[in-house]
Chains A and B, each alone.
Chain A
Amino acid sequence: MGARNTDVSFGWVTRALHWAMALGVLAMLGFGSYIARMEVGMSNIWMFGVHKSIGIVLFALLALRIVWHFVSPVLESLPSGVAWKDRAAAWVHRAFYVLLIVVPLSGWIGSGATGLDVLLFNRVTLPPLAPVSETWEEAAFAVHFVATKLLALCVVLHIAGAVMRKDGTLGRMVRGV
């Protein structure tokens, strides 16, 4: 199986990006919910840095994925035979792309607006995307909160659709064909 997609199969690059992001998004939804509820102290404040770093990595993977789709266009979805299901699947896919931009971007904007550095794995300081401002911070984190809930909804719908369909859609993303 090659790197590129063909008319009938997903190449390994598309599948690797899909599953790496799937794993990352699922982990981050759980991790983000955990750190939002925990009592913050010296022993766990490092978790925010890890959360931000993984978020930035997922953002970079999304950019790579979009570029890759231009290099090697994805296959057409298999028709389910039910029009509303096909439309729902298409909208969930579109929503994924929008939310996978909005979620990390809003987190980055909100973090920068606190006045604290946004560090990538404690090594690289990323530029702030907003002025230091409580208004920016609150607005960005409100967007982050809502967008993550919508992303979780999309994940549920996407997994449900993939599992319930018996037309080889899931197998195509696992094995390529």
Chain B
Amino acid sequence: MKIILATFCLWVAAAVSVWAMPLSYALDAGESRVGFEVPFGPDQITGTMPVRSADIALDFAQPSNSRISVVLDVGNAQANFPFATQALRGPRVLDAAAFPDITFVSNSIEVQRDAPSKARLGGDITIRGVTRPIVLDVELFRPAGRAPGERELLFVRLEGAVSRAAFGATGWDDLVGDEVSLDLMLRIDLEE
């Protein structure tokens, strides 16, 4: 994806917006990705997971009314070498056969005062059927070249980390670290 992204001060711009309701966005799954990274001895296992679906509504006047929920496709997760992919999908880690989805549902958002395009997004994440609270760093971007204030096409970046042990995904914990870093980049289009 050769789009140069520029930070887009949406939250501030929204303060003078005529829109009063949250705007619904449709996910462009083909242009969205979820990256993950976990320590593996002296190295890192990296990989990606497709986004199955997302429900995104952004309220630029009242950010607390915004909501972001994302469903990830565990069965098509890919790691950077075949055994890791098999282990990741298998019953000792994500158990894709029994739990084909990872879901995240937001329940709070706190916009940073000094960086209005950034926020802390609180919510619940469900992995292997276990739901735990999580806080993600979220940032909104617009593609380079788009006019300030334009909201038709946006990118949402979500970053955070989960503990494998907290969800019972403890397979190969003698070789692979516990903390998994998550980095989601979602492309969203304003719905008509």
In the complex, are the beta carbons of B41 and A115 less than 8 A apart? Answer: no
User: CB of A132 within 8 A of chain B?
Assistant: yes
- Do A42 and B40 contact each other (CB < 8 Å), given the known contacts A114-B92, A115-B92? yes
By secondary structure, the A interface counts as loop
By secondary structure, the B interface counts as loop
In chain A, positions 13-60 with a C-beta closer than 8 Å to chain B are 39-43, 45
Please name the residue on chain A nearest to B42 by beta carbon: A41
- Which of A43, A45, A115 is in CB contact (< 8 Å) with B90? A115
In the complex, are the beta carbons of A132 and B83 less than 8 A apart? Answer: no
Please name the residue on chain B nearest to A48 by beta carbon: B83
In chain A, positions 115-138 with a C-beta closer than 8 Å to chain B are 115-117, 132, 134
A41 proximity list for chain B (CB < 8 A): 40-43
Distance of A45 Cα from B172 Cα, bound (Å)? 13
A45 proximity list for chain B (CB < 8 A): 81, 83
Number of interface residues of A (CB under 8 A): 12
Distance of A17 Cα from B83 Cα, bound (Å)? 33
A144 to chain B, nearest CB (A): 16
B168 to chain A, nearest CB (A): 12
> What string of 1s and 0s marks CB contacts (under 8 Å) between A63-89 and chain B?
000000000000000000000000000
> What string of 1s and 0s marks CB contacts (under 8 Å) between B97-110 and chain A?
00000000000000
A18 to chain B, nearest CB (A): 34
Of the candidates A42, A117, A134, the one having the most CB atoms from chain B within 10 angstroms of its own CB is A42
- Do A116 and B87 contact each other (CB < 8 Å), given the known contacts A40-B175, A42-B81, A45-B81? yes
User: Which residues of chain B have a CB within 8 Å of any CB of chain A?
Assistant: 40-43, 80-81, 83, 86-87, 90-92, 171, 175
A-B contact pairs, 25 of them (CB 8 A): A39-B41, A39-B42, A40-B41, A40-B175, A41-B40, A41-B42, A42-B40, A42-B41, A42-B43, A42-B80, A45-B81, A45-B83, A114-B87, A114-B92, A115-B86, A115-B90, A115-B92, A115-B171, A116-B83, A116-B86, A116-B90, A117-B83, A117-B86, A132-B91, A132-B92
